[in-house]
Protein backbone atom coordinates (compact mmCIF):
# COMPACT_ATOMS: atom_id res chain seq x y z
CA UNK A 1 0.00 0.00 0.00
CA UNK A 2 1.30 3.44 -0.89
CA UNK A 3 -0.20 6.67 0.46
CA UNK A 4 -0.68 9.08 -2.45
CA UNK A 5 -1.64 12.73 -2.78
CA UNK A 6 -2.55 12.09 -6.44
CA UNK A 7 -3.65 8.44 -6.68
CA UNK A 8 -4.16 8.45 -10.46
CA UNK A 9 -0.75 9.97 -11.19
CA UNK A 10 1.16 7.70 -8.80
CA UNK A 11 -0.73 4.61 -10.00
CA UNK A 12 0.16 5.47 -13.60
CA UNK A 13 3.80 6.02 -12.62
CA UNK A 14 4.14 2.64 -10.87
CA UNK A 15 2.27 0.75 -13.58
CA UNK A 16 4.62 2.23 -16.19
CA UNK A 17 7.70 1.88 -13.97
CA UNK A 18 7.11 -1.84 -13.39
CA UNK A 19 5.79 -2.40 -16.93
CA UNK A 20 2.89 -4.18 -15.24
CA UNK A 21 5.16 -7.10 -14.21
CA UNK A 22 4.95 -7.56 -10.46
CA UNK A 23 4.78 -11.38 -10.26
CA UNK A 24 1.51 -11.41 -8.34
CA UNK A 25 2.43 -8.54 -6.02
CA UNK A 26 -0.26 -5.87 -6.07
CA UNK A 27 0.55 -2.21 -5.54
CA UNK A 28 -2.46 -0.43 -4.03
CA UNK A 29 -2.57 3.37 -3.80
CA UNK A 30 -4.44 4.95 -0.91
CA UNK A 31 -5.51 8.62 -0.97
CA UNK A 32 -3.99 10.92 1.64
CA UNK A 33 -3.78 14.67 2.18
CA UNK A 34 -0.47 14.39 4.05
CA UNK A 35 2.69 14.96 1.97
CA UNK A 36 5.68 12.68 2.42
CA UNK A 37 7.89 13.88 5.27
CA UNK A 38 11.57 14.51 4.58
CA UNK A 39 12.61 11.35 6.44
CA UNK A 40 13.43 8.17 4.48
CA UNK A 41 10.65 5.59 4.17
CA UNK A 42 11.15 2.36 6.13
CA UNK A 43 9.72 0.36 3.20
CA UNK A 44 10.73 0.81 -0.43
CA UNK A 45 10.77 -1.04 -3.73
CA UNK A 46 13.77 -2.29 -5.71
CA UNK A 47 13.56 -2.66 -9.48
CA UNK A 48 15.99 -4.63 -11.64
CA UNK A 49 17.60 -2.28 -14.13
CA UNK A 50 18.60 -5.01 -16.57
CA UNK A 51 21.68 -4.97 -18.79
CA UNK A 52 20.79 -1.47 -20.01
CA UNK A 53 20.29 -0.10 -16.46
CA UNK A 54 21.42 3.41 -17.44
CA UNK A 55 18.67 3.57 -20.07
CA UNK A 56 16.21 2.16 -17.51
CA UNK A 57 17.10 4.92 -15.04
CA UNK A 58 16.63 7.50 -17.83
CA UNK A 59 13.25 5.93 -18.71
CA UNK A 60 12.12 6.15 -15.07
CA UNK A 61 13.27 9.78 -14.85
CA UNK A 62 11.25 10.42 -18.02
CA UNK A 63 8.20 8.95 -16.27
CA UNK A 64 8.58 11.45 -13.40
CA UNK A 65 11.19 9.94 -11.05
CA UNK A 66 14.06 12.03 -9.71
CA UNK A 67 17.58 11.04 -8.71
CA UNK A 68 18.17 11.45 -4.98
CA UNK A 69 21.01 11.04 -2.51
CA UNK A 70 20.14 9.46 0.83
CA UNK A 71 23.77 8.94 1.77
CA UNK A 72 24.10 5.70 -0.18
CA UNK A 73 27.67 6.37 -1.34
CA UNK A 74 29.22 4.20 -4.05
CA UNK A 75 26.79 1.28 -4.40
CA UNK A 76 25.68 -1.05 -7.24
CA UNK A 77 22.27 0.61 -7.53
CA UNK A 78 20.75 4.00 -8.27
CA UNK A 79 18.41 5.68 -5.77
CA UNK A 80 15.42 7.48 -7.23
CA UNK A 81 12.19 8.92 -5.87
CA UNK A 82 8.76 8.55 -7.42
CA UNK A 83 6.76 11.72 -8.24
CA UNK A 84 5.69 12.05 -4.57
CA UNK A 85 9.18 11.57 -3.14
CA UNK A 86 9.02 7.87 -2.18
CA UNK A 87 12.47 6.34 -2.49
CA UNK A 88 13.15 3.28 -4.65
CA UNK A 89 16.25 1.64 -6.07
CA UNK A 90 17.24 0.47 -9.54
CA UNK A 91 19.60 -2.48 -9.18
CA UNK A 92 22.46 -2.87 -11.64
CA UNK A 93 23.35 -6.20 -13.28
CA UNK A 94 25.31 -8.47 -10.97
CA UNK A 95 23.55 -7.24 -7.82
CA UNK A 96 22.74 -10.33 -5.71
CA UNK A 97 19.07 -9.35 -5.49
CA UNK A 98 18.53 -9.53 -9.24
CA UNK A 99 16.90 -12.73 -10.52
CA UNK A 100 15.13 -11.13 -13.48
CA UNK A 101 16.29 -8.72 -16.15
CA UNK A 102 13.68 -6.10 -15.34
CA UNK A 103 10.63 -5.44 -13.23
CA UNK A 104 9.96 -5.46 -9.51
CA UNK A 105 12.40 -7.64 -7.62
CA UNK A 106 12.13 -6.72 -3.96
CA UNK A 107 10.07 -5.03 -1.32
CA UNK A 108 12.67 -3.81 1.18
CA UNK A 109 11.83 -3.30 4.84
CA UNK A 110 14.30 -1.48 7.08
CA UNK A 111 15.00 -3.69 10.06
CA UNK A 112 17.65 -3.20 12.74
CA UNK A 113 20.20 -6.00 12.80
CA UNK A 114 19.05 -7.22 16.21
CA UNK A 115 15.41 -7.41 14.97
CA UNK A 116 15.85 -9.17 11.62
CA UNK A 117 15.26 -12.74 12.81
CA UNK A 118 12.16 -11.72 14.80
CA UNK A 119 10.86 -9.83 11.75
CA UNK A 120 11.62 -12.79 9.49
CA UNK A 121 9.71 -15.16 11.78
CA UNK A 122 6.84 -12.67 12.07
CA UNK A 123 6.44 -12.21 8.30
CA UNK A 124 6.72 -15.95 7.63
CA UNK A 125 3.83 -16.44 10.06
CA UNK A 126 1.70 -13.69 8.47
CA UNK A 127 2.19 -14.45 4.79
CA UNK A 128 2.86 -17.51 2.68
CA UNK A 129 6.50 -16.48 2.20
CA UNK A 130 9.52 -18.48 3.34
CA UNK A 131 13.13 -17.65 4.22
CA UNK A 132 15.21 -18.09 1.08
CA UNK A 133 18.48 -16.47 2.23
CA UNK A 134 20.15 -15.32 5.44
CA UNK A 135 23.16 -13.01 5.09
CA UNK A 136 25.07 -10.42 7.10
CA UNK A 137 23.00 -7.77 5.31
CA UNK A 138 19.66 -9.34 6.21
CA UNK A 139 17.04 -11.92 5.32
CA UNK A 140 15.20 -12.55 2.05
CA UNK A 141 11.75 -14.16 1.96
CA UNK A 142 10.13 -15.52 -1.20
CA UNK A 143 6.68 -16.92 -1.88
CA UNK A 144 8.16 -19.75 -3.95
CA UNK A 145 11.75 -20.50 -5.05
CA UNK A 146 11.15 -19.39 -8.65
CA UNK A 147 9.52 -16.09 -7.68
CA UNK A 148 11.26 -12.96 -8.94
CA UNK A 149 9.73 -10.92 -6.10
CA UNK A 150 11.07 -11.06 -2.55
CA UNK A 151 10.71 -9.35 0.81
CA UNK A 152 14.14 -8.24 2.00
CA UNK A 153 14.66 -7.23 5.62
CA UNK A 154 17.85 -5.66 6.88
CA UNK A 155 19.69 -2.59 8.04
CA UNK A 156 20.00 0.28 8.03
CA UNK A 157 16.76 0.88 9.87
CA UNK A 158 15.32 4.34 9.34
CA UNK A 159 13.90 5.83 12.53
CA UNK A 160 10.13 5.48 12.85
CA UNK A 161 8.64 8.93 12.37
CA UNK A 162 4.86 8.65 12.35
CA UNK A 163 2.75 6.42 10.14
CA UNK A 164 4.65 4.63 7.34
CA UNK A 165 3.74 5.92 3.88
CA UNK A 166 4.38 2.50 2.34
CA UNK A 167 2.91 -0.50 4.12
CA UNK A 168 2.56 -4.19 3.48
CA UNK A 169 -0.88 -5.69 2.98
CA UNK A 170 -1.59 -9.38 3.51
CA UNK A 171 -4.65 -11.22 2.23
CA UNK A 172 -5.74 -14.03 4.54
CA UNK A 173 -9.03 -15.88 4.69
CA UNK A 174 -8.59 -16.68 8.39
CA UNK A 175 -7.44 -13.27 9.60
CA UNK A 176 -9.32 -10.43 11.22
CA UNK A 177 -9.26 -7.54 8.71
CA UNK A 178 -7.73 -4.27 9.82
CA UNK A 179 -4.47 -2.46 10.50
CA UNK A 180 -1.87 -4.03 12.79
CA UNK A 181 1.79 -3.56 13.76
CA UNK A 182 4.58 -5.96 12.84
CA UNK A 183 7.41 -6.98 15.19
CA UNK A 184 9.25 -3.71 14.41
CA UNK A 185 6.28 -1.38 14.94
CA UNK A 186 5.49 -0.97 11.21
CA UNK A 187 1.85 -0.74 10.20
CA UNK A 188 0.48 -3.47 7.94
CA UNK A 189 -3.00 -4.38 6.76
CA UNK A 190 -4.87 -7.67 6.68
CA UNK A 191 -7.69 -8.13 4.16
CA UNK A 192 -9.92 -11.12 3.44
What is the 3-state secondary structure of 110-148? ECCHHHHHHHHHHHHHHCCCEEEEEECCEEEEECCCCCC
What is the distance in angstroms between the CA of the first residue and the CA of the last residue of the chain?
A: 15
CATH number for region 2-163: 3.10.180
State residue 164's pLDDT score: 94
Question: Which of 55-64, 122-131, 159-168: highest mean pLDDT?
Answer: 55-64
Q: Considering only CA atoms, which of 110, 112, 106 is closest in space to residue 133? A: 106
Boundaries of every domain in the chain: 2-163
Q: Is the pTM of this model over 0.75?
A: yes
Percentage of the chain beyond pLDDT 90 is 51
Res. 60 pLDDT band, cuts 50 70 90: very high
Amino acid sequence: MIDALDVARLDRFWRDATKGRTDGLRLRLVPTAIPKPSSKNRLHLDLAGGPEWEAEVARLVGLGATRIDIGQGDVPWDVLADPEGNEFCVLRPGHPGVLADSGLVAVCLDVAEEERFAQSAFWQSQADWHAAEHHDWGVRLRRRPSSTVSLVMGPPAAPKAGRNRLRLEVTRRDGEPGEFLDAGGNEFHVTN
